[in-house]
């Protein structure tokens, strides 16, 4: 197959890459772009481990063709911290033991960030339903939900 040249913006940086026309965005991130923070758990949109944002909208990068990123803005887990300053969600996940094995953590954080941007004061139920597309098999979700709620409260107070 002839490779396709794609020009896009990733985590605020202009970026170019080559991909096969049937490569997913996740393939491109993990392959030519070397951004392996997004994980492949299912390749069918059922686990959320590959969550990214496309023009600020939360999507599964496994359900998007890499060529579709042409001219758009992608954000991944690698863009969540500002330099050496963690995003409050990252810090809270660490403090509250809201991760165990860590394979779902990238997707959880990207999804939680998208939630708090849209809804800075979510109820527990809203957090749970928003994160329903992010499977975690280790934590039972308890500490993740608490970390998101607590981060939201702290961010509102600032």
Considering only residues 109 to 148 of the shown chain, the ones binding other proteins according to CB under 8 A are 109, 111, 114-115, 124-125, 127-146
d(CA 129, CA 50): 18
Out of 17, 37, 122, 152, name the contact with other proteins by CB under 8 A.
37
Total binding residues for other proteins by CB under 8 A? 82
Work out whether 16 is an interface residue with other proteins (CB under 8 A): no
CA 149 to chain centroid:
18
Q: Does 153 bind other proteins (CB under 8 A)?
A: no
Nearer to other proteins (CB atom), residue 9 or residue 78: 78
Terminal-residue alpha carbon distance, the chain: 52
Looking at the Cβ atoms of 18 and 41, the one nearer to other proteins is: 41
Assign residue 88 a region (left: φ > 0; alpha: ψ between -120 and 50; beta: otherwise): alpha
Partner residues linked to 58 by β-bridges:
53
């Amino acid at each position: 197959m002839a490779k396709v040249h794609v020009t896009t913006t990733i985590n605020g940086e202009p970026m170019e890459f080559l991909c096969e026309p049937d490569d997913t965005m996740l393939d491109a991130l993990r392959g030519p772009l070397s951004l392996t923070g997004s994980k492949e758990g299912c390749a069918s949109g059922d686990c959320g481990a590959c969550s990214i944002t496309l023009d600020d909208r939360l999507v599964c990068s496994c359900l998007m063709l890499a060529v579709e990123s042409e001219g758009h803005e992608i954000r991944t887990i690698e863009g969540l911290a500002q330099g050496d300053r963690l995003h409050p969600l990252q810090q809270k996940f660490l403090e509250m033991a809201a991760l165990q094995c860590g394979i779902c953590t990238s997707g959880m954080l990207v999804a939680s960030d998208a939630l708090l941007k849209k809804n800075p004061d979510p109820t527990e139920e809203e957090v749970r339903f928003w994160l329903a597309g992010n499977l975690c098999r280790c934590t039972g979700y308890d500490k993740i939900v608490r970390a998101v709620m607590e981060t939201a409260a702290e961010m509102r107070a600032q």
